[in-house]
Amino acid sequence: MLKIQDLHAAVAGKAILKGLSLEVPKGEVHAIMGPNGAGKSTLSYVLTGREGYEVPQGSAVLDGEDLLALEPNARAARGVFLSFQYPLEIPGVPALTFIRTALNAQRKARGEPEVTAPQFLKLVREKSAALKIDFEMLKRGLNVGFSGGEKKRMEILQMAVLEPRLLILDETDSGLDIDALRIVSEGVNAMRSPERSMLVITHYQRLLDYIKPDRVHVLSAGRIVASGGPELALELEREGYDRYARAA
């Protein structure tokens, strides 16, 4: 389970997170909703260890282990996966090579044997078919020339192969048409498991029609200002964030 306590974070001296506390038990899907500038992306970057974010106070612990003390790759090896709002293009590195390099690096860090080429290809063929990804596309440079929908499906494919314990989806619905949204959501729902926690970060309620959360939290001005069941998302959709902006 993920346990965040009194988390503060700043970028270039400007405070963004101001005492955020949150618990996501194993097997649950929690949504974080909030207006632009509330600190949603900052939360995902602080949890994954991106440079440039100072954390003067607070903690983030995954299954008893202090995440903030670890390098980004060490966090990934312990099961933290971020689906990027804007996945990067990596020219010259075929998607297949990239995913295999990542998988074997994680396995090595955990003291597990590397996957063999046939095992890996079998695994990727299976997972990419489920996401309706053309296998030929995986031989091209990662995300180079891919549409927004294809990039998001590539994120979900990586997630399915790497099998993380904590899955963070940062605005996964942005830039998706309704068909792509359905495929991506099915991919995410297939990952739901009693062993896995998910944090779904979104501005709009739409994504939550497809990925049903157990809990919804409202993030405003760097703090969780309200928490509730799925009905909270619908209320936000109807009434907007104004009320919570004032509460913050």
Partner 1 sequence: MNLATAIQARDADALPGRRDEDWRWTDIRGLIRTVPEPSAPLAPAAAGAGPFAGLATHTVLIGNGHGEAAIEIADDQVVALDVVSQGDGSHAASVWINVPAGANATLLESYRGQGSYLAHTALSIRLGEGARLERIVLADEDAEGVAVSQAEVDLAAKSEFVQTTLAGGARRQRLETRVRHPGGHAQLRLDGVYLLAGKRHADLTTAVTHAAVDGLTDQLTKGVVRDQARGVFQGRIVVAEGADHTEAKMGHHALILSDKAEVDAKPELEIYADDVSCAHGNTVGALDEEALFYIRQRGVPEAEARALLTTAFVGEVIERIAHEGAREIAREWAAERLKG
* Nearest in space to 185 (alpha carbons), one of 142, 239, 131: 131
Of 95-154, binders to partner 1 (CB under 8 A) are 98, 101-103, 105-106, 109, 141
DSSP 68: G
Longest pairwise C-alpha distance within the chain: 56
Q: How many residues bind partner 1 (CB under 8 A)?
A: 30
Torsion from C-alpha of 222, 225, 228, 230, nearest 10 degrees: -50
Of 212-241, binders to partner 1 (CB under 8 A) are none
Least separation in angstroms between residue 84's CB and partner 1 is 7
91 contributes a contact to partner 1 by CB under 8 A: yes
Q: Which is nearer to partner 1, 78 or 215 (CB)?
A: 78
Least separation in angstroms between residue 108's CB and partner 1 is 9
182 contributes a contact to partner 1 by CB under 8 A: no
88 contributes a contact to partner 1 by CB under 8 A: yes
Non-local CB neighbours of 44 within 8 Å, separated by 6+ positions:
82, 168, 170, 199, 201
Least separation in angstroms between residue 128's CB and partner 1 is 17
Least separation in angstroms between residue 227's CB and partner 1 is 27
158 contributes a contact to partner 1 by CB under 8 A: yes
Non-local CB neighbours of 201 within 8 Å, separated by 6+ positions:
31, 32, 40, 41, 43, 44, 168, 169, 170, 171
**Which of 50, 122, 125, 139 contacts partner 1 by CB under 8 A?**
50
Tokens encoding 54: 């100072």
DSSP-assigned letters across all residues of 6-34: EEEEEETTEEEEEEEEEEE-TT-EEEEE-
Q: Which residues bind partner 1 (CB under 8 A)?
A: 48-51, 71-73, 75-77, 81-82, 84, 87-93, 98, 101-103, 105-106, 109, 141, 158, 162
